[in-house]
Amino acid sequence: MTSGGTGEAVVGQAAVDQLLDVLDLRQLDEMTFRGMSPPVGPQRVYGGQVAGQALVAAGRTVDPSRFVHSLHGYFVRPGDPAEPIEYQVENIRDGRSFSVRRSVALQHGKTIFFMSASFHREEEGLDHHAPVPVDVPAPEALPTMTDRLARYPERLGIWAMIPRPIDVRYVGEPGWVRPGDRPADPHQRVWMRIDGKLPDDPLLHACALTYASDLTLLDSVLSVHGEVWGPGGLVGASLDHALWFHRRFRADEWFLYDCWSPSASGGRGLATGRMFTVDGRQIASAVQEGLLRRVGA
C-alpha cells in the first residue's frame, strides 16, 4: 500500500521499487559502478544503503554460482545524498571455491566507505545453529511502523518523508520514543521484511538484507540503558559493519532480528545481532560498533 498524502513517506511496493532502483548501479567499466541516493532522505547517506550498493558492485564481478557469505566494512566519511557515489571494485582473488573482492565507495575523490566481501561456492558440510528466541510475538500481532509513529508526532522528523521499503515491527519499544518511555531491556528485537516483492536473485536478497541490517542494530546499545535517540537522548553514527550469511533466504519474507550489546565504553558501543526466519532457521549474523554521544555534548 502506498501513501496518498503530501509529505508522507512512500511505503510498500512503491518504496521497494525505489530501493531496487537505488541498488541497480550503473556500470561504468568492468570494475567501476555508480550509485544514486533516494531523492528524499536524511542529510547523510544511510549506512545500509552504501553497504548494500558496495555489495552490489562487488557481487556483479563474481560468478553468480558463488554466494556472498561474509562482508566487513568501515564507514569513513558521511556520504552526501545529493551526489552520486562511485564504487571501485578490486579483484583480490578468485580461487577454486572462494572469490574475494574489495569495494570502495567514493565521493569527491575521497573514500566514504570500504568493504571486503567473500563469496563461496556452496558445499555440503556440518549444519547447526543457535536456537531461535522463544515467546516472541508473531509479526502480525505487533504494531506497524505507521501505528507507532502516530504516537510520537513530535519525533517524526525525517521519518515522515523518507521512503520506507522495509516493514519493521518492534517487539519492544523503538529507540526513537520519548525519553522515559523506553524501559531497559537487554535485547532489541524486531521483525523485518522488504515490504513488497523482490526478483528471484540471491545477490539482490543479500544486498537488501545488508540494507536492512543497519537500521536497528545500534538501538540495542541504547536498549540496555533504556536510552533513546534524539532530543533528551543520544546521537550516533555507525563506525563499521560486519555481516555473515549462513543460509539461503528471501529478504521479502519475515525474519526476526535479535540484537543485543555485549559492551559500551569510551563513547562507543558494540552491537551484535542474529536473524531467524519464521520457521526458526538462522540466516545471518551481524556485528557493528557505533559512536554514541549525548545530544548537545
Q: Could you list the active site residues?
A: 214, 238, 288
What is the distance between the alpha carbons of residues 16 and 190, in angstroms, rounded to a whole number?
19
DSSP string, the chain: ----STTPPPBTHHHHHHHHHHHSPEEEETTEEEE---SS--SS--HHHHHHHHHHHHHTTS-TTEEEEEEEEEE-S---TTS-EEEEEEEEEE-SSEEEEEEEEEETTEEEEEEEEEEEE--------PPPPSSPPPGGGS--HHHHHHT-GGG-GGGGTS-B-EEEEESS--TTS-TTSS---SEEEEEEEESS---S-HHHHHHHHHHHHTSSTTHHHHHTTT--BSTTSEEEEE-EEEEEE-S---TTS-EEEEEEEEEEETTEEEEEEEEEETTS-EEEEEEEEEEEEETT-
Task: Work out whether strand 26-29 and strand 85-94 pair parallel, antiparallel, or are unpaired.
Answer: unpaired
Helix/strand/coil (H/E/C) assignment for every residue in 157-191: HHHHCCCECEEEEECCCCCCCCCCCCCCCCEEEEE
How deeply is 193 buried, as exposed, middle or buried, from its count of CB atoms within 10 A (0-12, 13-18, 19+)? buried
